[in-house]
Structure 1
């Protein structure tokens, strides 16, 4: 792969989830975890494109580790994952009355050995070469972390990326000791890392028993975790004392999943021309005969304009204005225009935007999977008013499409030296009062015109007369086989002729080109004597005598003469 390319989702790790049922693990926590996993894999199994979760395994830590789902492909494997989660629910009910002891060492050893076995058989050429383990427990973070780090000292961690300890706190009634230990776990984490492993493989996450918090953790599995290459280059003008452009390298992070990769893309976007948005129609007649639904948006709330984050808005923006349908009665049409203008005017005065969700269409079409859906998702939209009494309608993200994002540490001070360099580069750019799209071109027209156009081949130039000429002759060619020699066509190149003056007679030219031999053409261009008297043709017979060489002997042949009268 070239240095200007990068692998898409090529470093996604293999993940295994370990559930610790030891107290104070409750049925409610187990149900929340199972519901979150079902929601996650319903997305991961139906997302088109490269697999974001290539392999997944599920293990339960009871008195001994029990593998409910060995490493399996996630794509098109939702039913098998759902069966494994249903087994987890039944095991939770059985373990509530017991008090199983956690077996972290046995579980980690089984996970590593299972990964090594699968690495030698199933994984594709070492593409997914790292293992990531997530342990969900309700134990004290400090206690779990110490046991895990102790187990890592005797295990092979070559292909281990990290171990996340998801410690769910505030389950039931905690004692003061539990609260103190939970608060001190963060401070003791660094000291224990330095003293035991010094590798930074263990990461402790304290979490409340909430479905949204769990979803934020598990949705991180859908994010591209590759760090082998940067994603974006920002090229700025060079600084005055250098001719090299100033390049700023960036990474791109998805904020929202692309609904176009899901079966129900039409429910999250609005289209004026076609709800199906087919890239290629089967025929022109069928494309013109398509019918599209009339969208219905239910206004559900208002939000201030300043609180809408642009990273949550996606899709093609549409402009809404009062309808001019001629089928509507004139009075109703005028009333509708006044209602629309009043709605826009009120939102503009209050500096608010309206939030709406789509209502199901009366004509339910088949989904991309071919099944007739009995339940369709409901996309959400934001309606932004403008000063000319129109509405800007844009799709906005919802809970299921959100991806976690961490902005990092923003408290670090910026070095003034680099600030001066960037400011000097930006001073060379032109400042415009507003963005006018008519002043910017993308060369789309020229690119579209060039589609399917074949390069014009150069015509073969006519060779000059003095160039070597290819002559096809029949010669006897003998091969190494025992067969009789065959007469085949062999290509020979005649020698190059001398340049002749323009006034050279035709007969002399023919003699020069045939190396002095009488060409066959002379038999037809020479004057024939059969129509001349015998006396008159006699002097010319000697001149017209043709000499032929046949079988090594010279033979002469005189043209036949005819009598003058019959």
Structure 2
């Protein structure tokens, strides 16, 4: 049974300087929303979304695009941690280009952003335009206008001693026209523009039902090889995608991922090969696979915490003295074990065993053990997992899902599994070519220096945690904490009550060990 997963860890920078985070209280290390990120989100660019709403093709893409945008913004506006989208601006290009939303902060701004999406929905999709070239010119004007507004915004907020780390902007143009033609028009129309602050320009072509015809350049978009050499310093990228809510959500969720790229994230050190004294270093980047549910401030939470059994129990209004009902997990699907990617599992696993609750009679317990044994045997024999669904806790309306894995023992392993809403885009290409022979030989030589274990034993690993905790605790705490008393208490004790007799040989009152343990541990000691 494998208990390891590619955890989608949300990472925060403790020194995030975004304006949005300066207004929000820092999360406590003990809170569920406190997570760590080794790289910096301070280099996240501002975002501009330019939506082409030209009739009659807008009628095919309007609902899909607005639904995807509405879903995405509902998630982005409610994420804790560092600001992943510091600024957002929205343009609509119909019979004219219009700035629907100037640059605003995303977090906590859902009401305003939702109203902008509804304004997009209200743009009529009926009618016609005189040629697609007119739409391309309006898109070029929208790009230039957004760049100008970004420069003005940065100049406005960077006055005095205030500095801003988001000095670049990424522009995404969503169109239903043939993408290559739009790319050529933008390249030719922007070749003389000031693009210093532009980090990336992406054209997203939605394959809609409307037929734009063959991608043949019009007289307005023809170009020569000499003109092609005058392309932008920041190359225009083209992305084609289907007209579906999920595809557009995935495109937008790429904005939530860390956009650094200035340096690598980690170095993987392999043992030194036999012909070299230096270790082989493989430089890598990290990519988040999912949004941690801990970053979504729901009350009650998503029900996906598995740090302890107490975290897993359902949230009820019953008092602490009343017994909470058991959590109910409904099996909704069978999964092939070899068809589940570990990257969609996260959190800490919980081992599931047949209950030994004393309130069950012997006959019921025996029947339950037989059922559990049969379930384990069937799943293991058929190499299957179970997909489980937990009903919404406390009427929140939010479902959580788990995967139940089999093992060779009489136990099962429970792991949370990500849902569509929290899944981030991740490209995992498979190379059709074999590795370069020299690199292959180097890696194989390095790996032969390592010991191989057929069965992993975690007891063979130590991380020096005990020694670290002891040294830290002894340094931070006094040697005799029970002798320390507040100054007010000492003053009160130095002045005995009126009429009380004092003697010089009277010893100070000693704290009972039992009471001291109760104070330190915070629970009843037996």
| TM-score category (smaller protein) | 0.7 to 0.9
On the 8 A contact 2:392/2:400 being kept in 1, the answer is no
Distance of 1:404 and 1:221 partners within structure 2:
10
- 1:20 corresponds in structure 2 to 52
> Please, which runs of 5 or more residues in structure 1 have no aligned partner?
278-286, 365-373, 458-566
Distance of 1:315 and 1:290 partners within structure 2:
28
Query: How many angstroms does 1:167 deviate by?
Result: 1.2
Distance of 1:67 and 1:131 partners within structure 2:
16
- 1:275 corresponds in structure 2 to 311
| Other structure's SS at 1:181 match | coil
1:365-414: per-residue Cα shift (whole Å, max 9, x none)?
xxxxxxxxx53311111111112232111111211111111235723542
Provide closer, same or farther for how the CA distance between residues 127 and 318 of structure 1 changes in structure 2, counting only shifts above 3 A.
Answer: same
Provide closer, same or farther for how the CA distance between residues 316 and 85 of structure 1 changes in structure 2, counting only shifts above 3 A.
Answer: same
1:149 is the counterpart of 2:149: no
1:454 is the counterpart of 2:454: no
Provide closer, same or farther for how the CA distance between residues 379 and 144 of structure 1 changes in structure 2, counting only shifts above 3 A.
Answer: same
On the 8 A contact 1:146/1:192 being kept in 2, the answer is no
Query: How many angstroms does 1:151 deviate by?
Result: 1.6
On the 8 A contact 2:78/2:107 being kept in 1, the answer is yes
| Other structure's SS at 2:348 match | strand
Distance of 1:191 and 1:410 partners within structure 2:
33
1:306 is the counterpart of 2:342: no
Distance of 1:360 and 1:441 partners within structure 2:
40
| Other structure's SS at 2:468 match | helix
1:435 is the counterpart of 2:456: yes
Equivalent positions of 1:74-85 (< 5 A) are 74-85=106-117
- 1:111 corresponds in structure 2 to 146
Equivalent positions of 1:348-497 (< 5 A) are 348-361=380-393, 364=394, 374-408=395-429, 410-454=431-475
Equivalent positions of 1:45-444 (< 5 A) are 45-90=77-122, 92-93=123-124, 95-97=125-127, 99=129, 101-102=134-135, 103-122=138-157, 125-172=163-210, 174=211, 178=213, 180-181=214-215, 194-197=228-231, 199=233, 201-264=235-298, 265-270=301-306, 272-275=308-311, 294-361=326-393, 364=394, 374-408=395-429, 410-444=431-465
Provide closer, same or farther for how the CA distance between residues 421 and 142 of structure 1 changes in structure 2, counting only shifts above 3 A.
Answer: closer
Number of paired residues? 424
Query: How many angstroms does 1:252 deviate by?
Result: 0.8
Structure of greater relative contact order (alpha carbons < 8 Å, 6+ residues apart): 2
On the 8 A contact 2:205/2:238 being kept in 1, the answer is yes
| Other structure's SS at 1:274 match | helix
Distance of 2:223 and 2:425 partners within structure 1:
24
1:154-207: per-residue Cα shift (whole Å, max 9, x none)?
3211111121111112324x37xx2x4399xxxx99989944415352111122
Which one has the largest radius of gyration?
A: 1
1:115-138: per-residue Cα shift (whole Å, max 9, x none)?
110111236724111111111111
Distance of 1:56 and 1:262 partners within structure 2:
20
Distance of 2:476 and 2:391 partners within structure 1:
51
> Please, which runs of 5 or more residues in structure 2 have no aligned partner?
1-12, 14-36, 314-318, 479-526
Which deviates more, 197-206 or 131-140?
Answer: 197-206
| Other structure's SS at 1:267 match | coil
Superposition TM-score, scaled by structure 2 size: 0.74
Root-mean-square deviation over aligned CA pairs: 3.0
Distance of 1:400 and 1:190 partners within structure 2:
45
Distance of 2:338 and 2:414 partners within structure 1:
16
Distance of 1:203 and 1:413 partners within structure 2:
29
Query: How many angstroms does 1:316 deviate by?
Result: 0.6
